[in-house]
Structure 1
């Protein structure tokens, strides 16, 4: 008799679940799945933004990427930015989380301050840092003058422009990974730290033997999320350096944007977007693979 009751309510339950999911599935399909499929189809064509050209070229756009020096350089610059930004953001976020993981009201206020910068738009962040890095009257120039050094235009120096963008991104995006580390720290049983104190373990030993192993999955999550975010860097570069100086900070997303909306070559831009999607998918797969239970 109980089996018949479960079977009789299975179909209505499935229908109710589908009705609840239908609004999300509709928006997901309309704004994610359909544009993704359209982008994949466009990547196989010579497709102009405002013209009538819709010529099928198969893998032509993908072969063109292999011969395009601007594409290769922008891909390298995106990788350079990611390699510089992700370890820095992860290490600083972990350090701040360790410092802020205290119940005092002062630390609660500091956590809010560090997290608040992430609520700003990229336009506001770049305006702030353009003023800070102004070589004539910015805060950094005044600091250099106080130390007796000549002011340096960081954004105009091919060697220093990329680190300046990394610092800007660090200031802007440090709040989210810090909160993830705080959540991970608060899940560690306090008994482990009490046992370490009884064994007279040093702070470094406690951090290396208890904190880091307990945060392994959180560190992995932060690394993967930051790789996905930083490899798509665009706003800071466009507003602060426009890819300069000497194209040393021109990143992949900026090149995709310029190819599509400046040169009107939407098909070629779509093929580069598909490559970017592949990179993001690989990063997500690595995160899922390494975070499996039992690993």
Structure 2
């Protein structure tokens, strides 16, 4: 049956009755019967009319915007109030030493000297003539480059192997355990492992009929021993980060690749590595920054020896500031040069490895 003119045939569009109750439709499909004829005012719901009047009222809209702005300001003030202790600690222990070191780098400051003079760029130009500082920079750069590839490859291989399996949680904890140790503990452990007399490495080399070596006393192997120590120490940390990135990759991509006939190696190169780009960027940047600041392993294992074979920039800075007549001005200049080098390498890495990853 066709609906009467002026009354919609859809139930959802029928108006409310004047009593405020919805009118029920008959089974025959005929239009509802109401006590009054529907007017244009009654055809609009009461709630819609109220909302329309609220929106068109300038006084109420202004009051609403004012209250929302005040609420946001209170929330922002509360957030900064909670951040204030952390910001104060950051300013006192980070920002102030940074700026004070920059100021000292332009002076001839030294421990015990009451007054020191402004020397301009003399501390920076003197670094161009400091042969030991240049050697330490070279050793630091070699350590950074030589340790980056193992730090990228070893944890990634272990993460791919431990991504599945019933014992992955146990093995993950076992690999992560060395990272919980302090650098002094790690250094003393490897100092015993590499001992030429009682060390386990030389013991098994003798058992196999191979000649024993003084790993830390030989300039050809001392830096590689420090690299092996660092890789063993940080592998568990980067392993957990790689596992988190692997678990975010949808399994449907590997299933689709398997249906297309791709093997595990091709799937790793075409799916895993491209989608792990943000994780690789994080690992490379953090490792490079930490490598330029290496000090603890060298100080415990070799103390920069034999000769200057393992002397790093931070160790040379430490000896300049706290051993060689406490030359704080020259040491501050070294620190800022090292900071500039780290900043340049970090920017280059972000430029080369940045990219948007879509799953």
Structure 2 unmatched ranges of 5 or more: 1-60
What does 1:68-107 align with in structure 2 at a 5 Å threshold? 68-104=130-166, 106-107=167-168
CA deviation profile, 1:147-171 (whole Å, cap 9, x unmatched): 2112100101111000000001111
Q: Which runs of 4+ in 1 moved over 6 A?
A: none
Aligned pairs for 1:48-197 within 5 A: 48-104=110-166, 106-197=167-258
Change (3 A) 1:294 1:102: closer
> What does residue 65 of structure 2 align with?
3
CA distance in 2, matches of 1:230, 1:244: 18
Contact 2:281–2:350 at 8 Å: present in 1 too? no
- Which gives a bigger RCO, structure 1 or 2 (Cα 8 Å, sep 6+)? 1
Partner SS for 2:303: coil
Residue 104 (structure 2) aligns with: 42
The whole-number CA distance in structure 1 between the counterparts of 2:357 and 2:202 is: 52
1:32 is matched with: 94
- Match status 1:217 vs 2:278: yes
Q: Which position in structure 1 is the counterpart of 2:81?
A: 19
Deviation at 1:13, TM superposition (A): 2.5
**Which has the higher Rg, Structure 1 or Structure 2?**
2
Give the 3-state SS of the residue equivalent to 2:311 in structure 1: coil
Residue of structure 2 in register with 1:260 after alignment: 321
Over aligned residues, Cα RMSD in angstroms?
Answer: 1.6
Tell me, yes or no, if the aligned pair for 1:49 and 1:261 is still in contact at 8 Å. no
Q: Residues of 2 paired with 1:288 and 1:81: CA distance?
A: 21
Distance 2:131 2:233 in 1: 31
Give TM-score scaled by structure 1 length. Answer: 0.95
The whole-number CA distance in structure 1 between the counterparts of 2:278 and 2:146 is 22
Distance in 2 between the 1:121 and 1:187 partners? Answer: 31
- Structure 1's unaligned 5+ residue stretches are none
User: Does the residue aligned with 1:182 lie in a helix, a strand or coil?
Assistant: helix
Partners of 2:149 and 2:194 lie apart in 1 by 23
The answer to whether residue 296 in structure 2 is matched with residue 235 in structure 1 is yes
Deviation of residue 281 (structure 1)? 2.3
